[in-house]
C-alpha cells in the first residue's frame, strides 16, 4: 500500500484528495496549529496528522518519519491583496515552506512530488506574468522546484489549476457567494460577467491529482512535467451563473455591471499547457452545478 503525504490536507482540495486516496493508500498530512477541522472531521481518525511549526527541522522530521512514496503539495496562502499585513504570510507559506519541503524531500530520499500552480501566473495568456502577488509567490516556488528537478533531486508534476468548485466548499468563491445570495434573497452586485469562467468540478480536480501521482511513479522518464486542469469549453461568468440558477430553479436579484471591473483580471481562459495524459473533465458543468447546489 502506497504512503502519501499531503500538505494542505485541511483545505478544501486537499481534504477531498485525502478522502479519495484513503481507499487504497496510507494517508498522512502536514498540519499546523491551530488545527482546522472544518473539512476533515469525517475522516480525521483515518489519517495520520503530523504537526510542523514552520521550521525546516520540523518539516524534515516529518518527511523522515513518513517516508512517503508521493508528496502532494497543496498548502498555500491565498489573497488577492498585498501589503504589510499579508506579505509575510504569502512569503512564508508559498515560498519558504515550499523550499523547506523540497530540501527535506531530497535529504530524506522522497523524490516524487505533485504540486498545484495557478493560471493567475499567466495573466494575459503570457508565459509568465503574475496577476497578483499570490501568483508571483507561486511562481517563486516553481523556480525553486526547477532547480531541484534539473539537478535530479526531485521528480515533479505540476498541475496548473483555474477555478474549482463543489459541494461542501466554504471558501469565498464566486459560485458560493452567488448560491448564498440566491438562498437569502439579497441583491448581489456583479461585474459585467463577460469574462471566461474556467471552472472544474472537484471530483475531476481530485482525479487529476491522483492520476498525476500514479503516472509519476510509473513513468521514471518524467522529471519535470506541467499540465493544465481546465474545462473543455468554458462559458462566460454570466452564462455560468445563469446556468446554475436555471439548473437548480433558483432566482437571484443579480445586478450585472454594478461591480467595476478589476484593473487586472483574466478575461480569456488561459491555455498554455496540455492536459494530463489520460485525463479530461468528466463532470459536465450542468451536472456539477446541480451537485454543487444540493
pLDDT digits (tens, 9 = 90+) for 113-152: 999 999 999 999 999 999 999 999 999 999 999 999 999 9
Q: How large is the average pLDDT for residues 87-100?
A: 98
Give 235-264 pLDDT, tens digit per residue: 999 999 999 999 999 999 999 999 888 889
Q: What is the mean pLDDT of the chain?
A: 96
Tell me the DSSP string of 125-172.
G-SSB-SSHHHHHHHHHHHHHHHHHHTTS-EEEEEEE-EEE-TT--S-
Q: If one looks up domain 2-164+199-229 in CATH, what number appears?
A: 3.40.50.720
Kindly report, as residue ranges, where domains of CATH 3.40.50.720 are found in the chain.
Answer: 2-164+199-229
Q: What pTM did the predictor assign?
A: 0.97
Q: Which CATH superfamily is domain 167-197+232-265+283-292 in?
A: UDP-galactose 4-epimerase, domain 1 (3.90.25.10)
Rounded to an integer, what distance in angstroms lies between the CA atom of residue 50 and that of residue 169? 24
Q: How far apart are CA 284 and CA 168, in angstroms?
A: 18
Look at the block and give the residue holding cell 475531476. 204
- Residue 294 in this model has a pLDDT that exceeds 80: no
Task: Please tell me the predicted confidence (pLDDT) of residue 261.
Answer: 82
- Where helices occur in the chain by DSSP H, the ranges are 12-21, 56-66, 87-91, 97-108, 133-150, 174-184, 202-218, 237-247, 285-292
Contacts of 224 (CB under 8 A, 6+ apart): 145, 146, 149, 150, 155, 156, 158
Amino acid at each position: 500500500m502506497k504512503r502519501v503525504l499531503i500538505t494542505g490536507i485541511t483545505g478544501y482540495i486537499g481534504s477531498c484528495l485525502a478522502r479519495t486516496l484513503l481507499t487504497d493508500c496510507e494517508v498522512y498530512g502536514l498540519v499546523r496549529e491551530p488545527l482546522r477541522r472544518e473539512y476533515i472531521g469525517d475522516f480525521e481518525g483515518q489519517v495520520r496528522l503530523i504537526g510542523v511549526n514552520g521550521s525546516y527541522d520540523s518539516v524534515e522530521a516529518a518527511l523522515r518519519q513518513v517516508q512517503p512514496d508521493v508528496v502532494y503539495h497543496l498548502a498555500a496562502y491565498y489573497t488577492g491583496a498585498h501589503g504589510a499585513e499579508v506579505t509575510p504570510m504569502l512569503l512564508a507559506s508559498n515560498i519558504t515552506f515550499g523550499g523547506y519541503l523540497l530540501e527535506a524531500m531530497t535529504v530524506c530520499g522522497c523524490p516524487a512530488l505533485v504540486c498545484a500552480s495557478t493560471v493567475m501566473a499567466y495573466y494575459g495568456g503570457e508565459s509568465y506574468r503574475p496577476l497578483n502577488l499570490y501568483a508571483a509567490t507561486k511562481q517563486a516556488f516553481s523556480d525553486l522546484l526547477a532547480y531541484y528537478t534539473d539537478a535530479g533531486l526531485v521528480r515533479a508534476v505540476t498541475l496548473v489549476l483555474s477555478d474549482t468548485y463543489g459541494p461542501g466548499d466554504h471558501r469565498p468563491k464566486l459560485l458560493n457567494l452567488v448560491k448564498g445570495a440566491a438562498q437569502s434573497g439579497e441583491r448581489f452586485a456583479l461585474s459585467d460577467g463577460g469574462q471566461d469562467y474556467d471552472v472544474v468540478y472537484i471530483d475531476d480536480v481530485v482525479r487529476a491529482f491522483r492520476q498525476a501521482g500514479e503516472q509519476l511513479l510509473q513513468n521514471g522518464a518524467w522529471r519535470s512535467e506541467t499540465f493544465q486542469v481546465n474545462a473543455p469549453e468554458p462559458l462566460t461568468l454570466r452564462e455560468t451563473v445563469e446556468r446554475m440558477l436555471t439548473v437548480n430553479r433558483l432566482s437571484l436579484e443579480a445586478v450585472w455591471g454594478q461591480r467595476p471591473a478589476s484593473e487586472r483580471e483574466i478575461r480569456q481562459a488561459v491555455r498554455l499547457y496540455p492536459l494530463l495524459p489520460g485525463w479530461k473533465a468528466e463532470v459536465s458543468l450542468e451536472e456539477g452545478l446541480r451537485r454543487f447546489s444540493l
